[in-house]
């Protein structure tokens, strides 16, 4: 069975640009407790475990199969990636091209470089998004965001939603919120307990915060300690690559009050082995984002 190496998964996230925004922030006067956001928050020593692109070590990433498997393994939180098609449909796929995780090169051989934004939703719906991973997943499809939300809802799961490459898709923040709203994901219960929106783009996170100040947001990256107060103005969490952090850095994030006036949180990625999971747990992270949630849960006692 194919298991994606942690290094490859982490490398897939790289290449973002930090955008620093002005402002000031308040520091917590006492040792902070769990930060803001949808519960259950990580209890002391037991980080929340997020199934990255679903249980993507064992099923094709960002497919309905992957989130169904995460549910069967007992994980409430799943993470996904959102991009936009040529005709304006939001779809759940990580790369801005379709070649790695679908058979687009065989179905549309003359459409190189096979960018998501160059295909209609109907064309993408024709693609096989499962057989690259394993023959048992032949016929899996790239879901639309609405299809994905409906399945997460049916599974009674919670969602860490990443807006990908907003510079390619002007207005994707507003459109994502519109789809969430239409699917019933912006009512009080979902906003308080079941949804976090994140991005590598500070501008995107700030836009989401301005449009829906009640939403919990997260910035993907590792700002310097000196720059953290600027992010605290518009986000609740800082979600870094695990190789870029230390216990001191995590404590610095926890010492800040985020956009909702509560101690900020740290959810780190991509951790797929027990040794690294215990290492970041000892640093005090609130959550671990992983392709292999069962491995991490067994190592750290998370949930």
- Residues recognised as catalytic: 52, 94
Measured CA distances, 58 to 5, 130, 155, 216 (Å): 12, 11, 18, 29
CA distance 161 to 81: 6
Is the CB of residue 254 less than 8 Å from the CB of residue 284? yes
CA distance 248 to 242: 13
Residue owning tokens 């409430």: 76
What residues contact 138, with CB distance under 8 A and at least 6 apart?
A: 128, 130, 131
Joined together, the tokens standing for residue 180 give: 């969430």
Helix axes 145-154, 64-72, angle to 10 degrees: 20
Is the CB of residue 102 less than 8 Å from the CB of residue 125? no
Measured CA distances, 274 to 38, 279, 290, 301 (Å): 26, 9, 11, 11
Nearest to 59 by CA among 143, 154, 183, 116: 143
Joined together, the tokens standing for residue 134 give: 């394993």
Phi, psi of 145, rounded to the nearest 5 degrees = -60, -40
Is the CB of residue 242 less than 8 Å from the CB of residue 280? yes
CA distance 21 to 233: 9
């Amino acid at each position: 069975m194919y298991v994606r190496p942690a290094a490859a998964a982490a490398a897939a996230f790289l290449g973002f640009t930090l955008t620093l925004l002005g402002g000031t922030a308040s520091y917590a006067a006492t040792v902070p407790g769990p930060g803001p956001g949808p519960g259950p928050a990580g209890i002391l020593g037991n980080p929340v475990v997020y199934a990255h692109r679903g249980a993507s070590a064992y099923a094709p990433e960002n497919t309905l199969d992957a989130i169904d498997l995460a549910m069967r393994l007992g994980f409430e939180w799943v993470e996904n990636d959102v991009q936009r098609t040529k005709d304006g449909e939001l779809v759940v796929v990580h790369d801005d091209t379709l070649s790695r995780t679908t058979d687009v090169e065989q179905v549309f051989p003359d459409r190189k470089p096979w960018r998501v934004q160059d295909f209609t939703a109907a064309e993408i719906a024709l693609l096989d998004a499962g057989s690259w991973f394993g023959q048992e997943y032949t016929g899996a499809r790239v879901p639309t965001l609405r299809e994905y939300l409906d399945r997460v809802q049916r599974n009674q799961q919670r969602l860490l939603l990443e807006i990908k490459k907003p510079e390619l898709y002007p207005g994707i923040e507003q459109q994502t919120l519109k789809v969430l709203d239409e699917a019933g994901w912006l009512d009080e219960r979902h906003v308080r307990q079941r949804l976090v929106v994140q991005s590598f783009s500070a501008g995107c996170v700030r836009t989401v915060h301005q449009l829906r100040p009640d939403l919990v947001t997260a910035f993907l990256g590792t700002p310097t300690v000196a720059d953290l107060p600027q992010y605290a103005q518009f986000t609740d969490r800082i979600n870094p690559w695990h190789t870029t952090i230390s216990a001191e850095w995590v404590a610095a994030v926890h010492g800040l009050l985020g956009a909702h006036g509560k101690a900020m949180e740290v959810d780190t990625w991509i951790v797929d082995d027990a040794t690294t999971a215990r290492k970041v747990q000892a640093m005090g992270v609130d959550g671990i984002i992983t392709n292999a949630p069962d491995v991490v849960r067994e190592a750290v006692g998370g949930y």
